[in-house]
A and B are shown apart, each in its own frame.
Chain A
Amino acid sequence: MIALWRGLAPRTRAWLAGFLALLVLTPLVADRYLLSILTLIFYFAYVGQAWNLMMGYAGQLSLGHALYVGLGAYVAALLWVYFGVGPWLGVFAAIVIAAAFGGAVGWLGFRFGVEGVYFALLTIAAAEFTRIAFDHLAFAGGSGGLFIPYEEGRLGQWWNLRGGQLLFYYVALALAAGGVALVAGLTRSRLGYQWLAVREDEAAARALGIDAFRAKMAAVLVSSAMTAVGGVFYAFYYNNLFPAQIFDIGRSIELILGPIVGGLGTVFGPVVGAFILTPLGEGLIALTARLGIDAPGMKAVFYGLTLIAIIYVRPSGVWPWLARVIGVTERVP
């Protein structure tokens, strides 16, 4: 962590410290609604980051990351509802189980040379199968959903993620910041360079002694484990889980838009993307509600149009351009 910080240019450090301080102090002035929007932004920045690690750095397209969100959410919620195991412990079980699923998907794909779009189809299939399975798992509530009961006496138990908006704001902020630091650290490691090599040209990477299978497996394991942590947060923030919602392909797509808009394969791209897309989406919902229009697919259409517009203007994402404008460098030359 210290080495990472030292590796940054002074100007980058100043921007980063200022931005982080601003977010830490925001609750002093912001109302509950603004905090809820920011919490959502941090959540998408975090899960977007996890996906970005796999796609942006290792070059493996997953269109089924909702699988890991859902598994993380269900595992932690079930442990809490049935056994009273708190999320701070449940998160480890969530990580292990999501990584096991991620490992299985990765092994099937990478071992048998399922690449590109075909690998993406495999990730969709895994998420869909799991959704259908959870629809029929009686102990997990089936399609009727799983609910974390509201208990007045537990409010304020921050260690069990029981609390108000302010608690979730800071937890989400910590997640997003931790995700940035983790990915920044990993991508500067030997493994990170191996991911880049595999992404750029797998045959050439292997000719340089890189075990491409191992590198790709590492990417899918880390990415699925990270995503599961986001799922645990989701479960305790919303307190209700429905297979048709959490495992839905729409959720998988939603979480990859941020990194694409922000800039694939950059550390701050997912953060910037979340800061652009989430307020736009929530703003649209607020607007249509005020106008009394009920159009359920509107947000998706709007995201689609935004994506087209941004990719047209900034094909490599907003962050690489923004970084140049404010004079910040991400990779140490």
Chain B
Amino acid sequence: MTALLAVERVSKHFRGLVAVDQVSLSVMPGDILAVIGPNGAGKTTLFNMIAGVVAPDEGTIAFCGERIEELAPDERCRRGVGRTFQNVRPFPALTVEENVVIGALLRRPDVAAARRHALAVLDRLDLIERRALPASALTLPDRKRLEVARALATEPKLLLLDEVMAGLRPTETDRMVAILAGLNRDGLTIVLIEHVMRAVMALAHRVLVLHHGARIAEGAPETVVRDPAVIQSYLGAEALG
């Protein structure tokens, strides 16, 4: 089976700073890969290279066996890469429903059909009662779920989630974990950047740990959290506490 996403030795420098250094990863269909690491480890830069917001200085990115590192973000989305933003970016003046309809219109040019699909997605993300509200009126947990709903409405093969658990209370985290686990059971492949270890442990099939832009560990969640290098650089206080 070929990998859905294959990142080969990508690097990105910002002026003198090495943000991402020769990182490779591969994601099989149906996988959930979590990317963890301290702030500034290069997680979001890696993400942005996969989503097409920044171009890698070197290395290749293949999606469904085709090279995509030169493509624009909208073209990558059309090929099946969906994403959320770390700082949520719903369309504030539009309603929750309109936000998701815009995502749904990608595969369904007919507005009525897109609306039906959007309502189904909203139902799945527990946002159906909020559909007529302007997105700017939502609470943070609701906005996070709207962000996921909107990306999901584009029917991605791969969903990139950038810290969707950040700022959520434990009960809300569990709710998001349950939703994402359900989507994964239905065949969605997920790559997530996450600091909330509770969510990582519950969701991830594999964990990739970045530090100073480079990979320091990769493997099953239970193995990675016991890795001395990972504890040293990232988990430290949390693991000891």
Contacts and interface: CB of A to CB of B under 8 A. Distances in A.
A40 interface: no
A203 interface: yes
Contacts of B101: 193
B221 interface: no
B150 interface: yes
A190 B74 CA distance: 16
A190 B109 contact: yes
Contact of B105 (A190, A207, A333): A190
Contact of A208 (B93, B103, B109, B111): B103
B72 A200 contact: no
A194 B85 contact: no
A201 B105 contact: no
B105 A204 contact: no
A196 B98 contact: yes
A189 B101 CA distance: 11
Size class of the B contact interface (CB-based, 8 Å): 20 to 34
Interface string A173-203: 0000000000000001110011011001101
A210 interface: yes
A308 to B, nearest CB: 23
A330 interface: no
B111 A196 contact: no
A209 B78 contact: yes
Contacts of A212: 74
Given A193-B111, A208-B103, A333 B132 contact: yes
Contacts of A200: 91-94
Interface in B16-52: 51
B220 interface: no
Interface in B76-132: 77-78, 82-83, 85, 89-95, 97-98, 101-103, 105-106, 109-111, 114, 132
B89 A201 contact: yes
A189 B92 CA distance: 20
B72 A208 contact: no
Contact of A193 (B78, B89, B90, B105): B105
A206 B72 contact: yes
Contact of B77 (A193, A209, A333): A209
B84 to A, nearest CB: 8
A333 to B, nearest CB: 5
Which residue among A189, A194, A208, A212 has the maximum number of chain B CB atoms within 10 Å of its CB? A208
A207 B83 CA distance: 7
Nearest to B112: A3
A208 B95 contact: no
A204 B74 contact: no
A3 to B, nearest CB: 10
Nearest to B147: A204
B111 A197 contact: no
A189 B112 CA distance: 10
B188 interface: no
Given A188-B111, A197-B102, A208-B150, A203 B77 contact: no
Nearest to B93: A200
Contacts of B90: 204
Contacts of A207: 51, 73-74, 77, 82-83, 85, 151
Interface string A280-320: 00000000000000000000000000000000000000000
The 9 nearest A-B residue pairs measured at CB: A200-B91, A209-B77, A209-B106, A204-B89, A206-B74, A206-B73, A209-B78, A197-B102, A190-B105
21 contacts: A190-B111, A193-B98, A193-B101, A193-B102, A193-B111, A196-B91, A197-B91, A197-B102, A200-B91, A200-B93, A203-B73, A204-B85, A206-B72, A206-B77, A207-B51, A208-B151, A208-B154, A209-B78, A210-B74, A211-B74, A212-B74
